[in-house]
C-alpha cells in the first residue's frame, strides 16, 4: 500500500502525540473521526505503525549516562553473529544494537547510572558476549538532539 499525504500527516501527529484521541487526530488531519479511525487501523495492520509506547526520562529514572560501545568480533561466521545477537539482546541495559559496515562489527547504545555502573555492566555482561575480540567505549557528554520521529 502506498502512503498518501493524509496517511503521512496521521503518522507525523501520532509520532509526536501517541496519546491523541481519535477525534483530535481526525480534526488535525481534516478527516471525519470514522475515516481517520479506518486509516489508523489500516496503518497498524499494514505494519506502518508498529507499536505505541511511553518514552521515559532516563535521567529521572536514574540512568543519566549513555555509552556507545563499538564491538569487533573474532570472525564474521553466521553462527557467531547469531550467538552474539542472541546474547546481547538479553542484556537489560542495552537499548540498541546495530550490525555495522566499517571498522566495528556492532555498535551498542547502553544506559547506566554512572561510570561505576557501566563498569559493572561491562564486567557482568559485555566481557561475556560470544566472539568479542575488541571493545571500545565512548561516553556521551551531553545529548544535543534526540528524537524517535521518522521523517514522514
Distance, in Å, from the CA atom of 125 to the CA atom of 2, rounded to the nearest integer, reads: 43
Distance of CA 116 to the CA centre of its chain: 24
pLDDT at residue number 1: 75
State the average pLDDT over residues 15-44: 97
Query: What is the mean predicted confidence (pLDDT) over 122-151?
Result: 97
End-to-end CA distance of the chain: 15
Sheet holding 132-139, edge to edge: 94-99, 106-112, 65-73, 132-139
Angle between helices 5-16 and 33-45 (to 10 degrees): 80
pLDDT band at 44 (very low <50, low <70, confident <90, very high): very high
As beta bridge partners, residue 132 has: 73
pLDDT tens-digit readout, 111-132? 999 999 999 999 999 999 999 9
| From the candidate CATH numbers 1.10.10.10, 3.40.50.300, 3.40.50.800, 3.40.50.2300, the one assigned to the domain spanning 5-45 | 1.10.10.10
Give CATH for domain 65-139.
3.30.70.920
Q: What sign results for the dihedral spanned by CA atoms 143, 123, 108, 87?
A: negative
Q: What is the mean pLDDT of the chain?
A: 97
Residue 71 gets the label, from left (phi > 0), alpha (psi -120 to 50) or beta, of beta
Q: In the chain, what are the domain boundaries? A: 5-45, 65-139
Give residue 136's pLDDT band: very low, low, confident or very high (50, 70, 90). Answer: very high
Q: What is the pLDDT of residue 147?
A: 94
Distance, CA of 3 to CA of 24 (rounded, Å)? 21
Hunting for cell 551531553 — which residue is that?
142
Amino acid at each position: 500500500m502506498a502512503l498518501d499525504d493524509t496517511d503521512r500527516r496521521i503518522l507525523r501527529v501520532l509520532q509526536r502525540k501517541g496519546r491523541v484521541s481519535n477525534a483530535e487526530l481526525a480534526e488535525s488531519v481534516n478527516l471525519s473521526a470514522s475515516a481517520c479511525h479506518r486509516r489508523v487501523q489500516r496503518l497498524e495492520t499494514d505494519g506502518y505503525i508498529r507499536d505505541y509506547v511511553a518514552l521515559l526520562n532516563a535521567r529521572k529514572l536514574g540512568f543519566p549516562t549513555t555509552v556507545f560501545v563499538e564491538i569487533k568480533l573474532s570472525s564474521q561466521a553466521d553462527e557467531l553473529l547469531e550467538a552474539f545477537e542472541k546474547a546481547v539482546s538479553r542484556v537489560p541495559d542495552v537499548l540498541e544494537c546495530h550490525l555495522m559496515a566499517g571498522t566495528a562489527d556492532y555498535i551498542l547504545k547502553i544506559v547506566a547510572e554512572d561510570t561505576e555502573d557501566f563498569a559493572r555492566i561491562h564486567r557482568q555482561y559485555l566481557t561475556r558476549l560470544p566472539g568479542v575480540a575488541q571493545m571500545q567505549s565512548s561516553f556521551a557528554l551531553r545529548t544535543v538532539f534526540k528524537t524517535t520521529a521518522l521523517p514522514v
